Amino acid sequence: MARQTRLVLWTAALGIFLFILLRLFGQQPHQATLSSSLVFQNKEDVSSTDEKTQEIHIAAIVCGNRTTLGLTMMKSALIMCSDFIRFTLFVDNETSGVLNETIQLWPDNILKRMSLDMRPVSYPEDNTDEWKTLFKPCASVKLFLPSLLKEVDSVLYVDVDTVFLSPPLHIWQHLGKMNHTQLVALGPEMQDHTKGWYNKYASHPYYGKFAINSGVILMNLTKMRKFGWEKYVVRVNEQYKNRIVWRDQDIINIIFHFHPEKLYVYPCNYNYIPVHCSITSLCQEAEQQGIYILHGYYNAFINDHLPALKAIYTSMQQHSFGDNLQMLFVNMKENLMKTPTSSCRKVMSSILKLLMVT
């Protein structure tokens, strides 16, 4: 009897030991370790979500020196709406600590309207080094969101150099407009054959006449998983790696060139990019309806090449949560008036007129 008791105790101890080992070392293949992380949930408890409150899920990648851009993007989404927003950020060790410290200082009334899940940037085990250096640091992570967010049905991915100029719900609602075959919603890259990069220089297939921009992606992840999205990503990269320039965006364009029925295209004002106004106005929807998301790629929010766009971004960055929206729009207008006359300044000024009356 004593021997049986010792055997049971030994077996139980071994089971506990193995369990601890699995907990410590049994990470998923995509996972890495962060020196600091922040995960918090609000809305009382996730299970007690108010059915009447719309919930939006936004994902972004914050790497290297782009922390301020990421914080400004989050701030813009929160101040432009009253909806609850779930943020999932893929971060590196360099950015996680700063994000922690800054977000925890945000007002309680803002933190009650959001949850934050910070995860380490991670890549497929096969060809990890190649995916790490694809275009810009961490840029390829967006291509693998279906497996990195396997518990999520749908998400709005945005590059960190974006600013919301309207409630995120405006773009989120397009999920309900997608038909049963469409997996992803994207905006156009360029709408002028004389200025388009893809129609002039691309040596690979791309979507439509002028291609699509990958800075604002509305994803039905469930459909993407069923489609086998990531297998297409790997296959396209292997076949075209010596011909693509914009890497992650080119891969997306090639996939939808061959599967156009899988793509939903929303108007240019849902992802308003610098080329839409750098020479002349190329997005009529923006002038008529306003800009929903302003995307400052090519460092347009940082350098002085397009000062009108930088003025909009700087106003949002400096805005305090406690100030009202009209004050933000007044500051944007004042900062715009300090910039040289340009096509972008003219468009941004017309947008502000729409914002200030809504």
Buried b (16+ CB within 10 A) or exposed e, 172-181: beebeebeee
What pLDDT, on a 0 to 100 scale, did the predictor assign at position 35? 36
Whether the CA torsion 230, 233, 239, 242 is positive or negative: it is negative
pTM of the model: 0.86
Residues 138, 346: Cα–Cα separation, whole Å = 34
Both tokens of residue 99? 């994000």
Q: Domain limits of the chain?
A: 39-268, 269-356
Give the DSSP letter string of 52-105: TS-EEEEEEEE-TT-HHHHHHHHHHHHHT--SEEEEEEEE-HHHHHHHHHHHTT
One digit per residue, pLDDT tens: the chain, 358 residues?
444 445 444 554 555 454 444 444 443 333 333 433 455 565 544 433 444 457 999 999 999 899 999 999 999 999 999 999 999 999 998 899 999 999 999 999 999 999 999 999 988 777 776 787 766 778 889 999 999 999 999 999 999 999 999 999 999 999 999 999 999 999 999 877 677 889 888 899 999 999 999 999 999 999 999 999 999 999 999 999 989 988 899 999 999 999 999 999 999 999 999 999 998 999 999 999 999 999 999 899 999 999 999 999 999 999 999 999 999 999 999 999 999 999 999 999 988 877 866 5
Q: Which CATH class is domain 39-268?
A: alpha beta
Both tokens of residue 314? 């700087």
What pLDDT, on a 0 to 100 scale, did the predictor assign at position 213? 96
Both tokens of residue 296? 């400052």
